[in-house]
Structure 1
Amino acid sequence: MALYQWVVRNERLDRDRAARELDLGRAEVDAALAALTERGLLKADVDDPARLRPVDPDLVAVVVTTSLETSIRAQQAALHRIRDQFASLRGHYLDSLRRGSVGLELIPGLEEVRAALNRASAECTEEILTSQPGGNRVPAALQEALARDTEMLSRGVRMRTLYHHTARFNGPSQAYVAMASGLGAEYRTAHELFGRLIVFDRKVAFIPEQGDGWGAVVIREPSVVHFLCELFEQYWTHAEPFSDAVTDGLEAVAKDIDRTIVRLLAAGMKDETIARRLGMSLRTARKHIADIMEQLGAESRFQAGVLAARQGLLDDGGKTSPAG
């Protein structure tokens, strides 16, 4: 590029002078000149070979890229053919699901699950119900969700989401809820949730595949979907509007969480189950449990439950879970 600009200014090529003024070695100038002439960007004058004529780069680019553009168009055509073929296969697949009596579809991979959720979001016209356990959300995932949710809300889709109370301590979740709420989405939190669930238009439900994988089970059987929607509605009724923990008072929120942990301890649940039910890490749950047992002076979980009951700590102030 430097040599091309130099030739444009000087018209005649003096290789030694060009090397000095461009602070290049003679070999570098020779290599650059060869590249420019091979690509047709410089042409020697017929009557005076030392005089170089620059060629319009746009014209050269058209010649150089023509074969590449032809290849891209061929690949795009092949891509469209493959998509059309898979689309026709999907029609047969959906027919087999409709003929089946169970109405279940297993999607084993994370990318396939994302694609299925994006397609269901695009086809959703009325309502989406979501139960999102866990207190922490990855900012990048929230940003992606906000773009998708904004598009759905702009189409008049009603969105309701349940979070764990622990989400109120998470800054990214607070910011996401504030922005989406301003667009019409609704959010509530509860100490305990029944698990991850997404339902589109009360017709199609997504639940996690059993195990530690990232797969999902898609449910289209009307009775099962209806049952899941009723379960969501029960938890929604007993949940509280989303607000950050600072607004509610950190101490009050912490006491509510500890009260729930005590109740789960009294029920004989393991640390892993308590952590999952409350949407917190196992490490955090164990710290809460250790602090509670120390405050109660308990040496065992059973004793902690007995002492908590005597002190009235199992009384949730009139709040009951949907399953209680």
Structure 2
Amino acid sequence: MFKADESRTIGSSVGPGNREMALYQWVVGNERLDPDRAARELGLGRDEVDAAVTALTELGLLKADVDDPARLRPVDPDLVAAVVTNSLEKSIRDQQAELHHIRDRFASLRGHYLDSLRRVSVGLELVPGLQEVRAALNRASAECTEEILTSQPGGTRAPGVLKEALARDTEMLSRGVRMRTLYHHTARFNGPSQAYVALVSGLGAEYRTAHELFGRLIVFDRRVAFIPEQGDGWGAVVVREPSVVHFLCEVFEQYWTHAEPFSDAATDGLEAVAKDIDRTIVRLLAEGMKDESIARRLGMSLRTARKHIADIMETLGAESRFQAGALAARHGLLGDPAESPTG
């Protein structure tokens, strides 16, 4: 009936396994141990019953009657557990104390580290890994009291990332922090991004989109800015030098002025949004930009960018990218460069 199992180890003690628990219940119900009868009714071998009795006795769950040694009395499991787990609880408390001690030791070093940053005139700090960057952003978010500016290139954000950001953004907005975020126009075609913007906008956040963005940027209280580390890594550079942070804020404000309030593509009309995107692609083609650069500037995948380019060249009847740019300029499709903050 019962499979032989190993008792669980709790600290330096051992807890009852399935076999011992079944025998304990049998003894409680019968008040007296009859090994042969217990073996039959529990479907165990006599040697298994003897082993279980030994284990329960050693644990203190069964105790021989003083007047009748053949009779085993059950002991309150709560009392036994309190004794058995006492050493484990002490070990946990000791480990927690050690954990707090380690954290305090590292925290005492942070003041020296910040002093060294203040002595460096450029005010730059490299945060090398993704987990460290997340920790730094969470800390900056918790310390932010007035405003956060974000440039978030790309048309899509993973649902998991949006879910993680929702709690953080909601908490900041509840503290009265103003939040402004720039997306690419392509975000209007992304369902999760649409739903997220609609939800957080209702809490007071502001979102706008643009054809082109200058790159990823997050600024807290106009004092601390995060920009990506050069290359394909997940690191970030933290900028604290006031003049540099001010310059980055000015760049953000310029793009924010020319950007359009966020609304999904269906609301604006898919055709109108698509034409705006194609007009920007034509202008970038005329500037001699490569496919990879165009995709990155517009926040879309390389495959999507190449499909747009192929459709544009076919529509214009162009045989080369240079010819496409020339034909677009001839037909007045490049738009007024003054409309773009890069112009």
Distance 1:20 1:110, change over 3 A: same
Q: Any stretches of 5+ residues in structure 2 without a counterpart?
A: 1-20
Of 75, 94, 97, the match for 1:74: 94
Deviation at 1:66, TM superposition (A): 1.4
Of 108, 111, 129, the match for 1:91: 111
C-alpha distance in 1 between matches for 2:338 and 2:80: 76
Deviation at 1:200, TM superposition (A): 0.4
Name which of structure 1's ranges 94-103 and 202-211 shifts more when overlaid on structure 2: 94-103
Residue 259 of structure 1 aligns with an amino acid whose one-letter code is R
- The question of 1:179 aligning with 2:199 is answered yes
Distance 1:11 1:170, change over 3 A: farther
Equivalent residues in 2 for 1:163-312 (5 A)?
A: 163-312=183-332
Name which of structure 1's ranges 172-181 and 152-161 shifts more when overlaid on structure 2: 172-181
User: What is the aligned partner in structure 1 of residue 340 from structure 2?
Assistant: 321
User: What is the aligned partner in structure 2 of residue 155 from structure 1?
Assistant: 175
Deviation at 1:91, TM superposition (A): 0.7
Name which of structure 1's ranges 242-251 and 42-51 shifts more when overlaid on structure 2: 42-51
- The question of 1:105 aligning with 2:103 is answered no
**Partner deviation per Cα, 1:86-136 (whole Å, 9 max, x = no partner):** 112111111111122111111111111111111111111100001111111
User: What is the aligned partner in structure 1 of residue 3 from structure 2?
Assistant: none
Deviation at 1:219, TM superposition (A): 0.5
Residue 107 of structure 1 aligns with an amino acid whose one-letter code is V
Of 63, 71, 80, the match for 1:43: 63
Residue 161 of structure 2 aligns with an amino acid whose one-letter code is A
User: What is the aligned partner in structure 1 of residue 10 from structure 2?
Assistant: none
Partner secondary structure for residue 213 of structure 1: coil
Distance 1:21 1:179, change over 3 A: farther
Residue 320 of structure 1 aligns with an amino acid whose one-letter code is E
**Partner deviation per Cα, 1:57-102 (whole Å, 9 max, x = no partner):** 2222221221122122222222222222211211111111112211
Percent identity reads 88
Give the structure with higher Rg (CA).
2
Name which of structure 1's ranges 56-65 and 258-267 shifts more when overlaid on structure 2: 56-65
C-alpha distance in 1 between matches for 2:47 and 2:189: 64
Distance 1:81 1:267, change over 3 A: same
Deviation at 1:32, TM superposition (A): 4.3
C-alpha distance in 2 between matches for 1:16 and 1:250: 81
Residue 305 of structure 1 aligns with an amino acid whose one-letter code is G
Distance 1:47 1:87, change over 3 A: same
Partner secondary structure for residue 151 of structure 2: strand
**Partner deviation per Cα, 1:234-289 (whole Å, 9 max, x = no partner):** 11111111111222222222222111111111111111111111111112211221
Residue 142 of structure 2 aligns with an amino acid whose one-letter code is A
Q: Any stretches of 5+ residues in structure 1 without a counterpart?
A: none
Distance 1:202 1:15, change over 3 A: same
Distance 1:178 1:22, change over 3 A: farther
User: What is the aligned partner in structure 2 of residue 131 from structure 1?
Assistant: 151
Name which of structure 1's ranges 200-209 and 38-47 shifts more when overlaid on structure 2: 38-47
C-alpha distance in 1 between matches for 2:25 and 2:75: 12
**Partner deviation per Cα, 1:13-47 (whole Å, 9 max, x = no partner):** 34454455445565655554444333222323333
**Partner deviation per Cα, 1:107-166 (whole Å, 9 max, x = no partner):** 111111111111111111100001111111111111111111111111111111111111
Deviation at 1:212, TM superposition (A): 0.6
Distance 1:25 1:185, change over 3 A: farther
C-alpha distance in 2 between matches for 1:5 and 1:84: 48
C-alpha distance in 1 between matches for 2:290 and 2:272: 25
Aligned-pair RMSD on alpha carbons?
A: 2.0
C-alpha distance in 2 between matches for 1:242 and 1:25: 74
Residue 177 of structure 2 aligns with an amino acid whose one-letter code is V
C-alpha distance in 2 between matches for 1:137 and 1:149: 15
C-alpha distance in 2 between matches for 1:3 and 1:290: 77
Name which of structure 1's ranges 116-125 and 16-25 shifts more when overlaid on structure 2: 16-25
With structure 2 as the length reference, what TM-score do the two structures score?
Answer: 0.88
